[in-house]
Every structure is written in C-alpha cells, then in structure tokens.
Amino acid sequence: MATTAYETILLERRGAVGLVTLNRPERRNAYTARMGAELNGAFAELEADDAVRAIVVTGAGRDFCVGADLERGGDTFNRADRFEDRAAAPALRPWEMATPVIAALNGSAVGVGLTLPMQWDIRIAAADAKLGFVFTRRGVIPEASSTWIVPRLIGVARAMDVLLTGRLFTGEEAAAMGLVSRAVERERVLPVALEIADDIAANTAPVSVALTKRLITEGLAEPDRNAAAAREARAFWWSGRQADAAEGIRAFLEKRPPEWKLSKRTPVPPLEEPS
C-alpha cells in the first residue's frame, strides 16, 4: 500500500484504487485553501497514473467535511487570499478526468463538503449523515457549479428546495431524491465505495469508462438529442474497432478476467460531425 505525504489529506494507493482522506479531524475536516490545493494535487497525481482506475474520497473521523473553516470569521469567503495556495497549479476539473471519482460521505457533508462531491461521479452516503447546501444561511450562494449540476441531478423543484432553503437533510433523504447514489449504514460507507472502485478496476475497460463518463458529462450540456446520439454512435463504433472490444468478448466467452490493452488516457478521435 503506497502513500504520499500531504498536510491536510492522506493519499494511499490500494492496488488500482487511489484512496484520498480529508485529514483534519480535529476541525471536522473543515475545508481550507490548502486542502483544496492538496486535493487538486492528489487528483492530478492519480489521473496521470494509468495504473489507477478509480479514486475514492472520504473523511477522517466521523465527518466527511463540515464546509469551509470558519476560524477567520467574516473574512472566510474573502476570495482575495482564499485560493493563494492554488496559484502553483490550475484547478483540475473532475468532470474532465478519465478516472472515476467516488465520494464516500461517511458523515456530515455541508457547504463545500457537499458541493465538491457533486462534481464527482458516484456518491455513497451514511444514511444518518447530515448534508446541506447551507450557503444562503451564511450570506453567500451555492458554489462549485452546484447551481448547474444539482437541478440536473434531482430536478428543478427539489433543487430549489435544498439550494434556496439551505436546510439540512439526511443521507437517506439525499438517496431518495437522487442526490447520492446510495445511503448505507455509516460503517459500510467506505467499504461500499471501495467495492465499487475495485469492481471498476477489475472488470471494466479503462478507455470505455473514460469515454462513457465523457459522453455523460458532455450530454448534460447538449440540448440536441440527435447531436448527442451521433456523438455516442461515433464513440461506439470507434471503441468497437479497438483491441479492448475483442478482448472483452474473448474474456467473457473464456470465463476469465480481461487483460485490457488501452489506457484510460488513450486519445479518442473527435466525436463531432465533420463540417
């Protein structure tokens, strides 16, 4: 089990899975600029590693992340110096990553502790965890593109409810509305997330997962169904001509684990209709 040293997070490699742990339990994993920069650095490190097939993010202790660290009081949301630690590296957009990111919300996930997981791909929450987009109760607005993604995840009516009120709700309610993928007992959150990550690593083709994720995220912004269908068709026929398509079928017929040839970062030809 390989590890990498950071100040506010822990990074471990468990075979083909990268495990990132928000590690400020004494502050309930409250978010700081340093944590944001280190999380971005860990994602970039894992994204660049073809051996890493999935990333799981969880929190140390009983909380996932209770939001921005409010130790600075009224200056908490002063962006003039909030992101000074990010200057060295541009932020990585999780929706553009080839590696799936799975949130293991093992406890309270509030404010940025919830908007960041909205940018990721799969969310597992503790059924009794307290979640909330509390921004309007702090005099600011929901951020991290949550006003864009949350209505697409759960519909406008439910998004208006949770974003405008800033109320707290449970992981169980979040699963019922579709905000998270599953709600499970608190002690099962990380094991379930790791099981999903291990399943992806063991049984799916890296480039197929990356391309499927790309099509889903791009489709969220595509109002033309025919254009989306055409991109999907071109992606399907491209993937069908690659070595992994033949390997996937052979492995299934021969009842053995697949041995994929392409990496998650294999270049894919343009999917747009030629002009």
> DSSP per residue over 225-263, as a string?
HHHHHHHHHHHHHHHHTSHHHHHHHHHHHTTS-----S-
Whole-angstrom distance, CA of residue 116 vs CA of residue 99: 16
| pLDDT 10s digits, 189-244 | 999 999 999 999 999 999 999 999 999 999 999 999 999 999 999 999 999 999 99
Report the Cα 94 to chain-centroid distance in Å.
6
Q: Provide the pLDDT for residue 210.
A: 98
pLDDT of residue 2: 61
**Residue 220 CB coordination number (10 Å):** 12
* Per-residue confidence band for 1, with pLDDT thresholds at 50, 70 and 90: low
Q: How far is CA 206 from the centre of its chain?
A: 17
Q: Edge to edge, what strands does the sheet with 168-170 contain?
A: 109-110, 130-132, 168-170
- Quick: pLDDT tens for 33-54: 999 999 999 999 999 999 999 9
Is the sign of the CA dihedral 220, 226, 231, 237 positive or negative? positive
Q: How confident is the model at residue 80 (pLDDT cuts 50, 70, 90)?
A: very low
Whether residue 86 has pLDDT greater than 50: no
How confident is the model at residue 5, as a pLDDT?
Answer: 78
Q: What is the pLDDT of residue 3?
A: 65
- 199 against 78, higher pLDDT: 199
Backbone torsion region of residue 217, taken as left when φ is above 0, otherwise alpha when ψ lies between -120 and 50, otherwise beta: alpha
Q: Is the pLDDT of residue 74 over 60?
A: no
pLDDT band at 83 (very low <50, low <70, confident <90, very high): very low
Q: d(Cα 77, Cα 232) in Å, to the nearest integer?
A: 41
Task: Tell me the domains of the chain and their CATH numbers.
Answer: 2-201 (3.90.226.10), 205-275 (1.10.12.10)
Give the DSSP letter of residue 19: E
72: Cβ–Cβ under 8 A, 6 or more apart, which residues?
A: none
What does DSSP assign to residue 181? S
The whole-model pTM stands at 0.93
pLDDT at position 275 is: 64
Quick: pLDDT tens for 99-134: 999 999 999 999 999 999 999 999 999 999 999 999
